[in-house]
Amino acid sequence: MDDLIKKAAADLAQANMAAALTGAGASIESGIPPFRGKGGLWEKMDPMEVAHIDAFMQDPAKVWKLLVKGMKDVVDQAQPNDCHKGLARLEALGKLQTVITQNIDGLHQMAGNTDVIEFHGTFAWQRCMDCNTHIETRRVNVSEIPPRCHCGGILRPNAVFFGELIPHEALWRSRQVATDCDIMLVIGTSAMVHPAAMIPVLAKETGANVIEINPESTPLTGEISDYIIKGPAGDTMNCIVAELEKMI
C-alpha cells in the first residue's frame, strides 16, 4: 500500500491534467451515509420508492418524509473531511484541475475546489416545481412537509432523481474532462450507476491512468483502473498529498 501511495503521488507529480471522480465514499467521513454496502441507505429503503422521479411526482410528502428531510438534516451539518481537503490541496498545488462528483453535498466546493462538476446536481438548493424559484436548502422551513415555495408550489431538491436525465452541461463537461485528463482519481464510488460509471472508462480509453481509492473492489478494479489503493479516502489522500509535497 505504501508503494502504491508513492506511485500515485509520482503519477500526479508528472501529470499534465489530473481529474477526480468522487462518490458517496468520499463523504462518509463527513458523516453522510453511502447508498450501497454496509450501512448504506438502500439497505434500509428501496431507491425506486424514495429516489425515483415517479415516486416523487406521485407522493412528494412521502419522499420528503422518508428521504429528503433526513438528508437535509445530515447535509446541513456536514463539513469537509480529509478527502475533500486533500483534493483541494492538490488543486492549490496545481496538481488537480477538476473534480467530477456524484455527491450532492457541496463539500468539495466548501473545501476549496473551484472547478467541481456536480454530475447528479446539488442538494444545496431546492427548486419550485411550479415557478422554478430556487431556495437555499438550509433556509427551507420543513415544519410543513412537503415544503412549499412562496407561490404555493412544492419544493424539490435541485438534484437528479432516478429516472431523470443528467444535467446536460455536467454530462458534456465530464466527457470533455475524461477525454482531456491524463490521470483520473476515482474515489469512493461503487461504479454501479450509469452514466457516471462510464467516466473512468472513457478516461481509460482515451489514454488516462485511472487510480481507484476505495476500501473495496469495484467493477472497475482490474478491468479499467490501473491500480486500486485499498483504504479510506481521508487517510489515503493525506498520505498521497504528503508524498507529493516531498516531490515538488
Q: Select 207 or 222, whichever has its Cβ closest to ligand OAD.
A: 222
Q: Exactly one of 52, 108, 120, 194 is catalytic; which is it? A: 120
Cell output for 57 = 411526482
CA 160 to CA 52: how far, in whole Å? 9
CB of 16 to ligand OAD, least distance (A): 26
Stretch that binds ligand OAD, among 30-38, 107-115, 130-138, 171-179 (CB under 6 A): 30-38
CB of 227 to ligand OAD, least distance (A): 15
Identify residues 57-76 at the interface with ligand OAD (CB under 6 A).
none
Give yes or no: 168 in active site: no
CA 157 to CA 137: how far, in whole Å? 8
Stretch that binds ligand OAD, among 32-40, 55-63, 122-130, 148-156 (CB under 6 A): 32-40
The torsion angles phi and psi of 106, rounded to 5 degrees, stand at 75, 10
Residue of 193, 198, 226, 230 interacting with ligand OAD (CB under 6 A): 193
Residue of 51, 55, 184, 224 interacting with ligand OAD (CB under 6 A): 51
CA 195 to CA 53: how far, in whole Å? 17
Q: Select 37 or 153, whichever has its Cβ closest to ligand OAD.
A: 37
Residue 42 CB neighbour total at 10 angstroms: 15
CA 200 to CA 100: how far, in whole Å? 11
> Which H or E run includes 211?
strand 209-213
Q: Using an 8 Å Cβ cutoff, are 117 and 100 in contact?
A: yes
CB of 150 to ligand OAD, least distance (A): 28
Tell which residue, 153, 95, 91, has the closest CA to residue 127.
153
11 SS3 class = helix
Identify residues 83-142 at the interface with ligand OAD (CB under 6 A).
102, 120
Residue of 15, 23, 63, 204 interacting with ligand OAD (CB under 6 A): 23
**Spacing of C-alpha 48 from chain mean position:** 20
State the number of binding residues for ligand OAD (CB under 6 A).
Answer: 27
When CB distances to ligand OAD are compared, the closest residue is 25
Tell which residue, 26, 25, 27, 71, has the closest CA to residue 45.
71
Residue of 109, 122, 126, 190 interacting with ligand OAD (CB under 6 A): 190
Does residue 233 bind ligand OAD (CB under 6 A)? Answer: yes
CA 161 to CA 157: how far, in whole Å? 9
Q: Which residues bind ligand OAD (CB under 6 A)?
A: 23-25, 28-29, 34-37, 40, 47, 51, 102, 120, 160, 162, 188-190, 192-193, 214-216, 218, 232-233
Residues with a known catalytic role? 120
